[in-house]
Amino acid sequence: MNPKDFGKVAVLMGGRSAERDISLMSGGGVLKALQSRGVDAHAFDPAERELVELKREGFQRCFIALHGRFGEDGTVQGALELLGIPYTGSGVMASAISIDKVMTKRVWLAEGVPTPRYTLLRRGAYQREQVIAIPDDLGLPLIVKPAREGSSIGVAKVQGYSEMQGAVDAAAALDADVLCEQFIAGDEVTCPILGTGDGARALPVIRIVAPEGNYDYQNKYFTDDTQYLVPCGLPQGEEEAIQELVVKAYRVLGCRGWGRIDVMIDAATRKPYLLEINTSPGMTGHSLVPMSARAAGISYEDLCLRLLADAALDLEPGAAKA
């Protein structure tokens, strides 16, 4: 598309989630890229302005660079559906399911997509004895995390029984649902997907080598110690198998536009286990979708334009009329 054909574009960034700072970094990069290609793009922070202003000010498309709640969870998507303004990324239902790691697991398991075993705890409804017993089922180490946070916020790797209660309480402070998950020892990889339905395609797989295997918030965004390997260097055939698997996982959730799925590969069996999906991935200088796209010959600016061109509504205007 001619950049002028996009009309007035809002880059939604910031927001009210725990990932606000990362969203501002992502949105700033996207805004600069779109403007450099001649798009009439403007920053718009839903934490500071009412979304109805999008309609009043004549915005014709939205690039969602929000991360986490109130941006990646179907709420903003629903508001934009009501306003009739096409937006990037997945629609209401797919966004709402995908941000919830437990609901995502339930869908994937129903469709035969491998994901680590887990136990769900609800804030205020678990007893100390129940928490302490979880390693008996899932083994040690194990992972504890809030069900609906991203960027590794609130994630803890529990090495012993004595660490369980503190990790669960910390996660419960961020979310009413706490996910206790089997730890898969092996290669950590991630794979972006672009497109919709039968047109969805996986980009190159990235292998992540973090200091001491700890790919946490700090090592994701604020250090240069983490290695991102593209090409990923996996054994012959493994990258293709993972790409095929993540596209299936993306489709069964009903995602569209783009996404990124995190995967652990069991070191002993080489079986991949899908951890979670991001439906509004990061677009910062450390972010992985731009890195993978670049390996496929797609520049950051072209990636932003492609995503904006795919902006859509779940229900196109007029579709519900008799």
Q: pLDDT digits over 283-305, tens only?
A: 998 899 999 999 999 999 999 99
CA distance 289 to 107: 24
262 noted as active-site residue: yes
Cis omega (within 30 of 0) for bond into 146: no
28-49 pLDDT, tens digit each? 999 999 999 999 999 999 999 9
d(CA 11, CA 44): 6
Q: Which of 17, 215, 260, 301 is catalytic?
A: 260
181 in active site: no
pLDDT digits (tens, 9 = 90+) for 144-168: 999 998 767 889 999 999 999 999 9
| Dihedral angle over CA of 318, 251, 254, 66, nearest 10 | -100
Work out whether strand 156-158 and strand 186-194 pair parallel, antiparallel, or are unpaired. Answer: unpaired
Average pLDDT, the chain: 93
- Which of 151, 280, 287, 292 is catalytic? The answer is 151
- Model pLDDT for residues 186-200, shown as the tens digit of each residue: 999 999 999 999 999
Q: Is 276 a catalytic residue?
A: yes
pLDDT in tens, 220-268: 555 678 899 999 999 889 999 999 999 999 999 999 999 999 999 999 9
The question of whether 221 is a catalytic residue gets the answer yes
The predicted pLDDT at position 272 comes to 98
19 classed as catalytic = yes
How far apart CA 134 and CA 207 sit, in angstroms, is 30
Residue 211, pLDDT score: 77
Per annotation, catalytic residue among 87, 221, 273, 300: 221
**Percent of the chain scored above 70 by pLDDT?**
94
Residue 201 sits at the vertex; the CA angle it makes with 292 and 233, to the nearest 5 degrees, is 45
Specify which residues 144 forms β-bridges with: 156, 180
The conformation of residue 215, written as its DSSP 8-state character, comes to -
Candidates 23, 90, 98, 278; catalytic one: 278
Q: How far apart are CA 265 and CA 204, in angstroms?
A: 16
Assess whether 151 carries a catalytic annotation.
yes
Which one of 45, 262, 301, 314 is the catalytic residue? 262
Catalytic residue among 19, 73, 187, 239: 19
DSSP code per residue over 146-211? ETT--TTTT-EEE-SGGGHHHHHHHHHTT-SEEEEEE---EEEEEEEEESSGGG-EE---EEEE-G
Q: Examine the residue annotation and report whether 239 is marked as an active-site residue of this protein.
A: no
pTM recorded for the entire structure? 0.93
pLDDT, tens digit, for every residue of 94-146? Answer: 999 999 999 999 999 999 999 999 999 999 899 999 999 999 999 999 999 99
Domain boundaries, the chain: 3-87, 97-114+185-307, 118-182
DSSP string, 18-75: TTHHHHHHHHHHHHHHHHHTT-EEEEE-TTTS-THHHHHTT--EEEE---STTTSSSH
CATH match for 118-182 among 3.30.1490.20, 3.90.1150.10, 2.102.10.10, 3.30.1160.10: 3.30.1490.20
Give the pLDDT band (50/70/90) at residue 320.
very low
Q: What is the pLDDT of residue 221?
A: 53
Q: Identify the active-site residue in 175, 282, 301, 314.
A: 282
Would you say 51 and 21 are in contact if contact means Cβ atoms under 8 Å apart?
no
Confidence bin at 214 (pLDDT 50/70/90)? low
pLDDT of residue 322: 39
Mean pLDDT of 194-215: 89
- For residue 321, the model assigns a pLDDT of 44
Judged against a pLDDT cut of 70, whether residue 205 lies above it is answered with yes
Q: Which helix (H) or strand (E) holds 226?
A: none
Fold of the domain spanning 3-87: Rossmann fold (3.40.50)
Task: Report, at the CATH architecture level, how domain 97-114+185-307 is classified.
Answer: 2-Layer Sandwich (3.30)
Q: What is the CA radius of gyration of the chain?
A: 20
Look up 316 and say whether it is catalytic: no
Are the C-beta atoms of residues 90 and 77 closer than 8 Å to each other? Answer: yes
Can you state the percent helix, strand and coil of the chain, rounding each to 5?
A: 35, 20, 40
